[in-house]
Structure 1
Amino acid sequence: MSHSGEVKILLVQPPRWSPDGHANFDAIEELAGSRSGDVMVLPELAGSSLPRDDYLDRVRSLALRSGTAVVGGSHYDTAADGSAVNRGAVAGPDGTLLAEYDKVHPYGIERRSGVLPGRPGTGFDLHGRRLRVLLCADLWYSASLAGHDGLDAVLVPAFSLTRWDGPAPARELWRHMSVARAYEFVTYVAVSDWDHEATYLGQPCAGVTGLANPCPPAHTGFFSAPPTAPVSVHTLDFDRLDAFRHDRTARGFR
């Protein structure tokens, strides 16, 4: 673990997406290399359409190999009747399953293709802190976080498909939304997305990876974005977050 009060988070932003989930995990393992941290967040659909057991094996393997808790993005978990749910899992550094989560609001292409709404996850604890995973579009619904006071970080695997001409408008919207959620719910919001060169069924990605900080040391730090880094490292300063929460309470703001 990082020193007291801090957690190091790794956001993975692969340059391209493959319909072969094993190929995606192979690429992610190569990108992650020997980097160390407390938790690693993969982008949405890292597992593509891998069978559930194969997907869980890859998430656990990456956690064991890296010695890091891994938020494994997601995959399409397909039932015998052909119905599918966009679903993910978190594995601890020892490979144990810490949490499972579904996408509650299928969006765009997946909604038109019949992907079913899933059930929200319950979150998980890491080094005494409470973390919750929201899959992509679920961040855009404030009800996803309402009633979950005391969350220390919201982790968002994303595949930010956009219909805009270029990635800039979607990036701007995602940054505003992430900062709004971080400030409203007094928590860190970390988004792991594919690079803007990646595509899904011919539709381009915006590349919105970054960290929203509700209490940065300077006004320019509300959102930190690494547009070209395949793996970016961010430190979550929970002592500072706790102090910010106490200050808001003292001022009657919350």
Structure 2
Amino acid sequence: MSELVVAAIQMRSGVSPQTNIAVMDDLVREAASRGARYVQTPEMTGAVQRDRAALQQMLRSETDDPVLAAASALAAELGIHLHIGSTAVAAGDGMAANRGVVFGPDGGLLARYDKIHMFDVNLDNGESWRESALYRPGDVAQTVDIGGTRLGMGICYDIRFPDLFRDLALAGAEILTAPAAFTRQTGEAHWHVLQRARAIENGAFVISAAQGGVHEDGRETYGHSIIVDPWGRVLAEAKGDDPGVVIASLALDEVKAARAKIPNLKNARNYRVDGQQKMAEGVRVA
């Protein structure tokens, strides 16, 4: 049976990238010292900054971004796959990309993914978010090989779009990911059921590192970083919103077993709705 020890890093990123890099470094080292060969950080690892002007001032290109440079060096030093759940990078014309990046054990960049679905919502408690005002959405779904296992990349709000994760699974992903900065309100209502549903639907492991707690910019995130198996069982979870490390050993053969028991990936059929052919939303899988 093939086993992979994985870790989800829970953070409470502030507005200073350098401070966040130091926290990331400590927690990733702890995860590696506990045997993790794949380590994932949350959405907006580099900075949680709701002031758009301030965030734009700190934007750098991918090649000049200090968070990604530090992550590449750390992956190479520790000999691990390091997945920066996301950080904001310059995308031109004053816009940013909410970009996830996976580095290999030699520090090389293996894959990048720009968040496809923008969190443009109005919540009951008065919170209003318009990610599309600053972030340019991606249009390519991404899988990447991590030591013989296929991983599918998502970010936060993407978890509410099951077709994306189905397409990643059909493209061979055995591990699905949704590193996040879920609001406390939406996390309390939906976090666990969404993570487990995506695992069950696709017979895949789901790993979602999260931001947690009250941040410097006043935002409050839910935490509860989580690792779920292909049968929907929670293997490991941060029990609150404090920074820390969540570890689990994945028995990768469980993906094949779950998909054999419930072969819904094979059993899916095309159908029509009100005379219209069901179609994808213009997203392709790389």
For normalisation by structure 1, the TM-score amounts to 0.84
Given the alignment of the two structures, is residue 81 of structure 1 paired with residue 77 of structure 2, yes or no?
Answer: no
Distance in 2 (CA, whole Å) between partners of 1:131 and 1:151 is 5
**Match of 2:23, SS?**
helix
**Farther-moved stretch of structure 1 (180-189 vs 23-32):** 23-32
Instruction: Tell which structure's C-alpha radius of gyration is larger.
Output: 2
Opposite residue 63 of structure 1, the aligned amino acid is A
Given the alignment of the two structures, is residue 203 of structure 1 paired with residue 223 of structure 2, yes or no?
Answer: no
Question: Shift in Å at residue 222 of structure 1?
Answer: 3.9
Within the candidate set 173, 178, 181, 1:159 is matched to 181
Opposite residue 156 of structure 1, the aligned amino acid is A
Is the contact between residue 132 and residue 153 of structure 1 (CA under 8 Å) also seen in structure 2? yes
Question: Which residue of 2 is the match for residue 95 of structure 1?
Answer: 107
Question: Which residue of 2 is the match for residue 45 of structure 1?
Answer: 44
Deviation per residue, 1:92-130 (Å, 9 max, x gap):
011011100011112143526432212334210122211
Is the contact between residue 204 and residue 255 of structure 2 (CA under 8 Å) also seen in structure 1? yes
Distance in 2 (CA, whole Å) between partners of 1:127 and 1:23 is 31
Question: Shift in Å at residue 40 of structure 1?
Answer: 0.3
Is the contact between residue 199 and residue 231 of structure 2 (CA under 8 Å) also seen in structure 1? no
Within the candidate set 211, 231, 254, 1:215 is matched to 231
Opposite residue 13 of structure 1, the aligned amino acid is Q
Is the contact between residue 152 and residue 188 of structure 1 (CA under 8 Å) also seen in structure 2? yes
Is the contact between residue 15 and residue 217 of structure 2 (CA under 8 Å) also seen in structure 1? no
Question: Shift in Å at residue 199 of structure 1?
Answer: 2.4
- Stretches of structure 1 that go unaligned for 5 or more consecutive residues are none
Alignment of 1:11-90 (within 5 A): 11-14=8-11, 16-33=12-29, 34-48=33-47, 49-51=58-60, 52-53=62-63, 54=65, 55-90=67-102
**Farther-moved stretch of structure 1 (132-141 vs 118-127):** 118-127
Is the contact between residue 96 and residue 134 of structure 2 (CA under 8 Å) also seen in structure 1? yes
Given the alignment of the two structures, is residue 235 of structure 1 paired with residue 249 of structure 2, yes or no?
Answer: yes
Question: Shift in Å at residue 80 of structure 1?
Answer: 4.3
Alignment of 1:162-173 (within 5 A): 162=184, 164=185, 170-173=187-190
Given the alignment of the two structures, is residue 176 of structure 1 paired with residue 176 of structure 2, yes or no?
Answer: no
Alignment of 1:110-149 (within 5 A): 110-111=130-131, 113-148=133-168, 149=170
Question: Shift in Å at residue 86 of structure 1?
Answer: 0.8
**Match of 2:159, SS?**
helix
Question: Which residue of 1 is the match for residue 203 of structure 2?
Answer: 186
- Stretches of structure 2 that go unaligned for 5 or more consecutive residues are 48-57, 121-128, 269-286
Opposite residue 47 of structure 1, the aligned amino acid is G
Is the contact between residue 17 and residue 198 of structure 1 (CA under 8 Å) also seen in structure 2? no
Deviation per residue, 1:112-151 (Å, 9 max, x gap):
6432212334210122211011011011111212333132
Given the alignment of the two structures, is residue 246 of structure 1 paired with residue 260 of structure 2, yes or no?
Answer: yes
How has the CA–CA distance of structure 1 residues 152 and 80 changed in structure 2, closer, same or farther, with 3 Å as cutoff?
A: closer
Bigger strand share: 2
Question: Shift in Å at residue 172 of structure 1?
Answer: 4.7
Deviation per residue, 1:47-89 (Å, 9 max, x gap):
2355222233122012123221011121222244211121121
Question: Which residue of 1 is the match for residue 272 of structure 2?
Answer: none
Alignment length, in residue pairs? 239
Deviation per residue, 1:199-222 (Å, 9 max, x gap):
263221011311122326xxxx34
Opposite residue 227 of structure 2, the aligned amino acid is L
